[in-house]
Amino acid sequence: MKKLIKLFLILLFSITTIVAQADNHKATKAAEKAAKSEAKAAKKAAKSETKAAEKTAKSETKAAEKTAKSEAKAAKKAAKSETKALTEKIKYAKGASKEEKKAVKETNKSLKETRKLENRLAKAKNDEQIIKAFEKFDKSLSKSSKGQVVSLYVKVAKSLGLNASIGALQANFGTPQETGIFDLQNQINETNQLIKTLPNEIQVLEDQISRLSLTAESLNEETETLSGQVNDLSSQIISLDNQLSSLDENTLSLSEQVNDLSEQIGVIDNQLTSANLAEDQINELNLQKTTLETQLAETQLSLSNTNNELLNSNSNLSTLNNSLELSNNDLLSATQSLPILENQLNETIDEVNIGNRDSSWTTINLDINNDGQITEADIIQ
């Protein structure tokens, strides 16, 4: 019986172990399946995300290309409109002479050919086509009296990245240097610079004048003091001179009495004692006089130096006041002339600019090397 129970327990334990192992295997398999499923889902999500990002990037690239294409098209259209406006046909004045009509006709032809050149250059895809466009342009103007000049100015303008019509217009109607626009612009710039800098210069001059005025005032006071000292010392010296004269007279009188009364010895001795006393007083007074004269000389030297310094200060002050007056006059003149110059510039631009075209071409400088003339040297390679 005990053996049966023992066998039953062993069997039961074995069955429990097998069941537990089976459950563990099943759980492991389920976990593996779940992990596999999650990995698959993550891979699918990543793939979808990548695909979406690629689609977005592609869409953005396409949109950017579309925008760039649209902007390029708009720029091309704007450039074409600008060329058309700048090369608009010119009408000759009523009652124009035969020569004037001929000149207007040639100008219109050069503007028309310039418009064609600009359009050909816009369509050119390589250097060869660009060269051919210029050759055709030169050929079309070969019989014109200003053909070579127009061709040169157009090439200079294009080398600067400008519209070809700017060169043609300046060749026909004048450069800023020839029309006086350049000079007026320089005058306006210089005038504006003066208006900007003169107030600071005036302030500096006013500060210097203020300091010099204080110095001159101090020197005037010092001069008055030294003049008083000189007068006082001079008075003291005069007083001493008077005392010395009096003593000299007294000494002379005593000497005469000594000679006349030589027989009266007692009296002579007393008088000689008085004479010696007078000489001591004279020596003392002479010493005082010498001291005062030295002080007077020193004081007069200080007074002279102070007067010279005062003279220099007053001279500098006068110079600065003159400079201040000139600067104020220059500032006033610049302020008053600026609107006049600006008005002259506007009138000149309006006069030079034929028709209703944009007037900016009248102020563009094609003389790149600033040698006073437009030549092939101004073409930027």
Tokens of 182: 């350049």
Q: What DSSP designation does 375 have?
A: -
User: Distance between CA atoms of 43 and 35, rounded to whole angstroms?
Assistant: 12
Tell the CATH topology of 184-352: Helix Hairpins (1.10.287)
Inter-axis angle of helices 147-159 and 127-140, nearest 10: 150
**What pLDDT does residue 204 have?**
93
Examine the pLDDT at 192 and tell me if it is beyond 80.
yes
Predicted pLDDT at 270 = 56
pLDDT > 70: what percent of the chain? 83
- Is the pLDDT at 281 greater than 90? The verdict is no
Give the Cα-Cα-Cα angle 279, 284, 285 (nearest 5 degrees).
Answer: 95
pTM here? 0.64
Candidates 165, 212, 206; CA nearest to 327 is 206
Q: Given its phi and psi angles, is residue 95 left (phi above 0), alpha (psi -120 to 50 degrees) or beta?
A: left
Cα–Cα distance measured from residue 246 to residue 336, given in angstroms and rounded to the nearest whole number: 78
Give the model's confidence band at 169: pLDDT under 50 very low, under 70 low, under 90 confident, else very high.
very high
Rounded Cα distance between 256 and 251, Å, is: 9
CA distance 86 to 245: 107
Structure tokens at 42: 């993550």
Q: Which residue has the tokens 């050929």?
A: 139
Distance from C-alpha of 1 to C-alpha of 252, rounded to nearest angstrom: 186
Question: Which residues, in sequence order, are CB contacts of 316 under 8 Å at separation 6+?
Answer: 212
> Does residue 230 sit in helix, strand or coil?
helix
Measured CA to CA, the distance from residue 270 to residue 9 in angstroms comes to 177
Range with the poorest average pLDDT among 163-167, 173-177, 279-283, 345-349: 279-283
Could you tell me the two tokens for 354? 């034929």
| Strand residue runs (E) in the chain | none
Q: Which residue has the higher pLDDT, 277 or 326?
A: 326
User: 206 — alpha (psi -120 to 50), left (phi > 0) or beta?
Assistant: alpha
Calpha distance 302→227 (Å, rounded) = 10
Taken in order 121, 123, 128, 134, the sign of the CA dihedral is negative
Residue ranges of the chain that CATH labels 1.10.287.1490: 184-352
| Neighbour count for residue 352 (Cβ, 10 Å) | 21
Distance (Å, whole) CA 299 – CA 337: 56
Both structure tokens of 15: 């069955």
Please compute the mean of the pLDDT values over residues 334-344 and round it to a whole number: 93
Contacting residues for 83 by C-beta, under 8 A, at least 6 apart:
114, 115, 118, 119, 163, 164, 165
Confidence class for position 261, pLDDT limits 50, 70, 90: very low
- pLDDT band of residue 268 (cuts 50, 70, 90) is very low
27-49 residue pLDDT tens: 677 777 777 778 777 877 887 78
CA distance 193 to 208: 23
Give the pLDDT mean for 61-82.
80
